[in-house]
Amino acid sequence: MRRTRAMLTVAAVMAAAALLLAACSSSPSTPSASGTAKGTTVPTGGTPQTGGTATWAELPGTAPNFIFPFDPPGLFSVSNISQFQYLMYRPLYWFGQGTTPDLNLSLSVGKNPVYSSDSKTITIDLNNYVWSNGETVTAQDVVFWMNMMHAEKNSFGAYVPGINAIPDDVTNVVATSPTEVTFTLSGAVNTNWYTYNNLSQVTPMPKAWDITAKGAAAGSGGCFSGAYGTAATDAACTKVFDFLATSAGYDPSNPKAANNSFSTYATNPIWQVVDGPWHLTSFDATGNITMAPNPTYTGPVKPKLTKFIEAPFTDEPTEYNALLGGKLQVGYLPLANVTKATPNPNVVAAQDPRLSGFYLNEYYGWEFAYFPVNLNSAGNGGAAGKIISQLYFRQAMQTLVDQPAIISKVFKGYGAPEYGPVPVLPVTNFLSSGEKTNPYPYSLSNAEKLLSSHGWKINAGGTDTCTDPGTGANQCGAGIPKGTPLTFNLQFATGITTQTEAVNDEISSWEAAGIHINETTSTFDTVIGNATACTPGPSCTWEFEDWAGSWVYSPDIYPTGEELFATGAVANYGSYSNPQADNFIKQTDFTNASLANYENLMAKDVPVIYLPDQVQSLTETQNNLRGVVPQNPLSTITPENWYFVK
Amino acid sequence: MIAFLIRRIIQAVIVVLLVLLGLFLLTHVIPGGAARAALGPRATKAQIRQFNVTNNYYKGIFVQFYLYLKTLVWHHNLGYSYKMNQDVTTVIAQRLPKTLVLVGISTVLALIIAVPLGILQVVRRNKPIDHILTGLTFVGYGMPSFLLGTLLILYFAIDIHIFSVEAPQGQTVGAILGDPRGLVLPEFTLAAITIASFSRYMRSSMMEAMTEDYVRTARAKGASPRRVLFRHALRNAIIPIVTLLGLSIPAIVSGAVITETVFNFPGMGLLTYEAATNTDVPLLLGTALVATLATVIGSLLADILYAIVDPRIRYAK
């Protein structure tokens, strides 16, 4: 009786709330009855103004938490690097040209790297940048970073062992003049790969940071001017790294040590030596960040704003409320609040009528969505990995991912299909012909044909079974006994509604063809934690792990596969191994071969299941703020380009 | 009383240890492990191995628990949150005062409003005002805080711009109290639901007290209605509210996840939620320890207050 009454009360409250919501949404600020089109085009014109404050919304759960631009694993993140450190400490090379991830020399500290004919020597001249303490950014500052990288490569989040990349392939780095640094490599490299994936990681560091104690003399640490690769320099650099990392809150030797370094980020003289357009004026642990222009900045675009603020949010609705409430100048429209689907992912269809003071801009990151499948899995009585290892099966799985339907229904049109490891959006020259069209367009009948022609009895809506075991071309495949059911465990991460809807759509398609899925849900961390490469054995049981995320090409911007699909690669969680792929990957890293062969093979060989990529952000910008678009596809923000107009 | 206190404190320590051990065991059977969660998708096997060695994850579970307790007791250190790049003690020290202010104020507010409301309902029992207040408290009781908070933001912050869309963002208690525009809506959201609950307790407790023999005796002896109400009935009727207050302490300390989320207020509630969803083991243990301590201290306080306000209770015996 009580329960019924309580439920009725809730129902009454919900009804009242719905009425109130309706009343609220028809506020006087509604600009037009149709509520479409307004605010969807990028405004131009106006008289530029100097000054003003722009507040930018951080994505939920991504508050920056590390200031030292030598980020350890776990702290190596877009929010730390591209949206925080780069504003103060400029990388040697800047990537992002319009909406492409291309090298942007006009914003780089280094001039175009010059490779010797055998590509074993790289000469880099520097543009004129100065540190805020008055010193010039010199070639030795680059050597300083390289010395630290040599000593502390395992403490750097982007270091990948075993692929003969920076610093393993660097035999020497010397400052041949104050403005010229020369790298000597142990072997030939693909120059694009090296610039985009190796030199991209370098951030010159000031001599003032070469210390091992507070107040010590600049350069006293011995890492700045030490000879590259020597034991003495490595030992000195380790001490300097320990000091700097600890000053930034991370104690590498004692992670349990107490620290409250966040409170000193804006006041510690170390972090106030900057060569970027901004310096930090306040920082707190929850992600409230304020920056002011660096008056000594010598880069091409000087800040016009007086203050730049980054504001944290607990979730998307909170950010949306802040946007509606006028707290933000640059924020984002949650996909759930999109009022009208778009027929073209590159054109926004409509603006929320209550946001008439903002314009909307779609933003696609340099990433592709996928989930790994475990080719070594001992699940399904030991047959799971054997089935997944069969190309026809992976083709069938991929054929059943209805990417256009997911994009239009779930992502409201704001998404791009993915046919291989190179993103379709943003549009770049990296995309090969083999990835421009879908090699496995959605087709239930084609998928069923692939399975039935390889010895499986189709039981649509139920579970297919292997009726013709064996290794012949028309049989199930090695290690798959007769009667094996086509059933798999899929664990996926919840938390993003659209991604959950997309997974449900995929599961329904697979089950329609008789591929039975036992779905379980967990957190992002648990799912990604489970997706670990394992050798065949009783403990290697995971089959499909979908963490609802993407592979982001940053700081390895050149979309090669040495980290993803090469045999034994660090992120080759499913243990995919194909000698031809290994060969193509090597060619893209160490010869000047194009990416096309690798890309085309990866599209056809389906080492993972490719998923449609949803728009990374629908950015809302106040109508009188210019310079926010085009947006950098590597999520780098450049508020020095922003200015208000009258 | 002292013997009772000693007994209760020993019980409390055992409870805290058992809760910690239980949570420790649970967090260590999470599939996937903490290393990958902390180090990210590009973490190498060597880095994962190093992480596990540094954090003693290779040692036996009870050895790990012993080391955890040792660090906690001797160094007052709750460990390091890789996700936040902060030691857990510092994070909690930053969040706890904020939550204490937010939830503490709303609880006091609720008490100040709910007690007179409950009394009024008893005085005007079965009159229109009683029915109206009963209806309103049911609405408040049944209203989800996310809905109430969102509606308040939509109207008062976005439409008519009287209050701020979010709670105060300052890092200190002073900064939070210095932004009353930001405090009104979250405090009202939290208080509305607590008022509903407290006033219902108060009403039924007062009703019960008014039927007791001592009230009838007081009336027979010619005590004025006001005296009967406040001197005789209220003193007894308030006892369950005292217990309720003591039991509210865990909520005051642990925070209110939903309200904190809606109002963009990074307090203890949100911290616990983030720790759980991020598999941030040290942080999860730290927040759980705080919540457990608050629970045992809260119930201990409730018992002590109970003894103070009710002279019939003699724990010393």
C-alpha torsion B44→B47→B51→B53, nearest 10: 110
Element (H, E) at A123: strand A121-125
Q: Which of A14-18, A598-602, A639-643, B34-38 bottoms out in mean pLDDT, i.e. has the lowest? A: A14-18
pLDDT digits (tens, 9 = 90+) for A192-208: 999 999 999 999 999 99
Query: Does residue A3 surpass a pLDDT of 50?
Result: no
Q: Which residue of B has its CA nearest to A573?
A: B41
The shares of helix, strand and coil residues in chain B, as percent rounded to the nearest 5, are 75, 0, 25
Q: DSSP H helical segments within A65-128, as ranges?
A: 78-80, 86-88
Of the candidates B203, B194, B199, B202, the one whose C-alpha atom is nearest the C-alpha of residue B143 is B194
Query: Does residue A24 surpass a pLDDT of 60?
Result: no
Q: Which of B40, B47, B86 shows the shortest C-beta gap to A262?
A: B86
Res A15: pLDDT = 33
Beta bridge partners of A100: A97
Res B28: pLDDT = 73
Q: How confident is the model at residue B33 (pLDDT cuts 50, 70, 90)?
A: low
**Residues A211, A218: contact at Cβ < 8 Å?**
yes
A442 Cα distance to chain centroid: 27
Give CA–CA dist A585/A588, Å, rounded.
Answer: 5
Q: Are strands A550-552 and A367-372 parallel, antiparallel or unpaired?
A: antiparallel
Domain A78-276 has CATH 3.40.50.10490: no
Interchain CB distance below 8 Å, B94 and A285: yes
pLDDT digits (tens, 9 = 90+) for B231-260: 888 888 888 887 778 777 777 777 688 899
Chain A hits for B91, Cβ within 8 Å: 285
Q: Which of B40, B154, B165 shows the shortest C-beta gap to A21?
A: B154
Interchain CB distance below 8 Å, A256 and B261: no
Q: Which chain A residues in 446-505 lie under 8 Å from chain B, judged by CB atoms?
A: 495
Res A13: pLDDT = 31
Q: How far is CA A297 from each of CA A152, A355, B297, rounded to the nearest angstrom?
A: 29, 35, 55
Query: Does residue B285 surpass a pLDDT of 70?
Result: yes
Chain B hits for A317, Cβ within 8 Å: 150, 262
Q: Which chain A residues in 516-555 lie under 8 Å from chain B, judged by CB atoms?
A: 522-530, 532, 549
Q: Which residues contact A94 (CB under 8 A, 6 or more apart)?
A: A103, A104, A105, A107, A108, A109
Q: Does A282 touch chain B (CB under 8 A)?
A: no
Cβ–Cβ pairs < 8 A, chains A and B: 187
Q: Any idea what the Cα angle at residue B179 is, between residues B174 and B183, rounded to 5°?
A: 105
Query: Does residue B281 surpass a pLDDT of 60?
Result: yes
Give the pLDDT mean for B70-77: 83
Beta bridge partners of A309: A55, A290
pLDDT digits (tens, 9 = 90+) for A521-578: 887 777 877 888 899 998 899 999 998 888 989 888 999 999 899 999 888 999 999 9
Between B47 and A312, residue with greater pLDDT: A312
Res B235: pLDDT = 82
Q: Does A321 touch chain B (CB under 8 A)?
A: yes
Residue A160 backbone class (left: φ over 0; alpha: ψ -120 to 50; beta: rest): beta
Interchain CB distance below 8 Å, B84 and A65: yes
Res A393: pLDDT = 98
Q: How confident is the model at residue A14 (pLDDT cuts 50, 70, 90)?
A: very low
Q: Which chain A residues in 590-629 lie under 8 Å from chain B, judged by CB atoms?
A: none
Query: Does residue A512 surpass a pLDDT of 80?
Result: yes
Length of chain B: 317
- The separation between the first and the last C-alpha atoms of chain A, rounded to the nearest angstrom, is 63
**Rounded percentage of chain B residues whose pLDDT exceeds 70:** 94
Give CA–CA dist A337/A513, Å, rounded.
Answer: 34
Q: How confident is the model at residue B32 (pLDDT cuts 50, 70, 90)?
A: low
Three-class secondary structure of residue A55 per DSSP: strand
Q: Which of A293-302, A479-488, B39-48, B253-262 bottoms out in mean pLDDT, i.e. has the lowest? A: B39-48
Res A57: pLDDT = 96
Q: Which of B47, B159, B171 shows the shortest C-beta gap to A73?
A: B47
Determine whether B83 is exposed, middle or buried from the number of CB atoms within 10 Å of its CB (0-12, 13-18, 19+).
Answer: buried
- Give the amino acid at A591: T
Res A161: pLDDT = 81
- The separation between the first and the last C-alpha atoms of chain B, rounded to the nearest angstrom, is 8
Kindly report the pTM of this predicted structure.
0.84
Give CA–CA dist A520/A537, Å, rounded.
Answer: 22
**Residues A500, A492: contact at Cβ < 8 Å?**
yes
Chain A hits for B39, Cβ within 8 Å: 73-74
Give the pLDDT mean for A579-601: 94
Give CA–CA dist A349/A135, Å, rounded.
Answer: 50
Between A604 and A44, residue with greater pLDDT: A604
Residue that is written with structure tokens 């982007």 in the block: A158
Q: Does A358 touch chain B (CB under 8 A)?
A: no
Beta strands in A414-485 (DSSP E): 415-416, 456-457, 465-466
The shares of helix, strand and coil residues in chain A, as percent rounded to the nearest 5, are 30, 20, 55
Q: Which of B154, B280, B285 to mutate to test the interface with A (most CBs of A within 10 A)?
A: B154
Interchain CB distance below 8 Å, A9 and B169: no
Give CA–CA dist A52/B115, Å, rounded.
Answer: 49
- The reply to whether A78-276 and A367-614 are identical in fold is no
Give A207→chain B minimum CA distance, Å. Answer: 25
Domain at A367-614, CATH class: alpha beta
Res A22: pLDDT = 33
Give the pLDDT mean for B154-177: 90
Give CA–CA dist B195/B181, Å, rounded.
Answer: 21
Q: Domains in chain B and their CATH numbers?
A: 13-88 (no CATH), 92-309 (1.10.3720.10)
Chain B hits for A13, Cβ within 8 Å: 139, 142-143, 147
Res A117: pLDDT = 95
Q: Which residue of A has its CA nearest to B264?
A: A314
- Give the amino acid at A67: I
Per-residue H/E/C for A487-513 = EEEEEEECCCHHHHHHHHHHHHHHHHC
Give B78→chain A minimum CA distance, Å. Answer: 8
Q: How confident is the model at residue A503 (pLDDT cuts 50, 70, 90)?
A: very high
Mean pLDDT is highest, among A468-482, A511-525, A530-544, for A468-482
Res A180: pLDDT = 98
Give the pLDDT mean for A403-430: 94
Q: Which residues contact B14 (CB under 8 A, 6 or more apart)?
A: none
- Give the amino acid at A504: N
**Residues B163, B156: contact at Cβ < 8 Å?**
yes
The tokens for A252 are 């590498």
Q: How confident is the model at residue A128 (pLDDT cuts 50, 70, 90)?
A: very high
Bond from prior residue into A538 cis (ω within 30 degrees of 0): no
Number of Cβ within 10 Å of residue B157's Cβ equals 25
Give the pLDDT mean for A210-219: 96
Give CA–CA dist B52/B64, Å, rounded.
Answer: 11
Q: Which residue of A has its CA nearest to B160?
A: A27
Res B184: pLDDT = 94
Q: Which residues contact A358 (CB under 8 A, 6 or more apart)?
A: A39, A323, A331, A351, A620, A621, A622, A623
Domain ranges of chain A: 40-53+307-364+616-645, 78-276, 367-614
Q: Write down the ipTM of this complex.
A: 0.79
pLDDT digits (tens, 9 = 90+) for B77-128: 888 888 888 889 889 998 999 998 988 899 899 989 999 999 999 888 889 9
DSSP letters of A214-254? TTPPTTTTSSSSSPTT-HHHHHHHHHHHHHHHHHTT--TT-
Give CA–CA dist B220/A435, Å, rounded.
Answer: 94
Q: Any idea what the Cα angle at residue B62 is, between residues B57 and B66, rounded to 5°?
A: 90
Of the candidates A510, A622, A435, the one whose C-alpha atom is nearest the C-alpha of residue A49 is A622
Give the pLDDT mean for A271-275: 98
Query: Does residue A305 surpass a pLDDT of 80?
Result: yes
Q: Which residue of B has its CA nearest to A553?
A: B42
Q: Which of A179-193, A444-458, A625-639, B268-282 bottoms out in mean pLDDT, i.e. has the lowest? A: B268-282
Residue that is written with structure tokens 């759960």 in the block: A61
Beta strands in A595-645 (DSSP E): 608-611, 613-614, 617-622, 625-626, 643-645
Give CA–CA dist A242/A259, Å, rounded.
Answer: 14
Q: Which residue of B has its CA nearest to A262?
A: B86
Give the pLDDT mean for A130-141: 97
Res A526: pLDDT = 77
Q: Are strands A95-97 and A100-103 parallel, antiparallel or unpaired?
A: antiparallel
**Residues A613, A364: contact at Cβ < 8 Å?**
yes
pLDDT digits (tens, 9 = 90+) for B179-217: 999 999 999 999 988 888 888 889 999 988 888 898 899
Side-chain half-sphere exposure of B83, counting CA atoms within 13 A: 22
**Residues A520, A491: contact at Cβ < 8 Å?**
yes
Sign of CA dihedral A345, A350, A352, A358: positive
Give CA–CA dist A160/A171, Å, rounded.
Answer: 17
- DSSP-derived letter for residue A573 is T
Q: Any idea what the Cα angle at residue A483 is, between residues A482 and A484, rounded to 5°?
A: 95
